[in-house]
Amino acid sequence: SGQPQITGEIKKHKVALPSLPEQQKIADCLSSLDELIELQAKKLEALKAHKKGLMQQLFPNYDV
């Protein structure tokens, strides 16, 4: 239905792409950021577990 028309419209436009080495640098940078995000998420989970343990020690009736 309407999709072939949209595809045709998109084909009319040129999109500038970075060179392959530049694309690789961008991909490497994004991968590094993903790794940092994952590491921070693991640290956050460890801190939450530590907090839960402390709360249970300080307040035995505390329910998380």
3-60, pLDDT tens digit by residue? 667 777 777 888 889 999 999 999 999 999 999 999 999 999 999 999 999 999 999 8
Q: Where are the domains of the chain?
A: 18-58
Could you tell me if 47 and 53 are in contact, meaning their C-beta atoms sit under 8 angstroms apart?
A: no
Res 8: pLDDT: 75
pTM of full prediction above 0.75 = no
Res 20: pLDDT: 97
What distance in Å separates the CA atoms of residue 49 and residue 9, rounded to the nearest whole number?
Answer: 53
- Alpha-carbon separation of residue 49 from 5, 39, 40, 58 (angstroms): 54, 15, 14, 14
Res 51: pLDDT: 95
> C-alpha dihedral over 23, 25, 29, 31, to 10 degrees?
70
Res 4: pLDDT: 65
Q: Give 23's contacts (C-beta < 8 A, 6+ positions apart).
A: 17
Res 40: pLDDT: 99
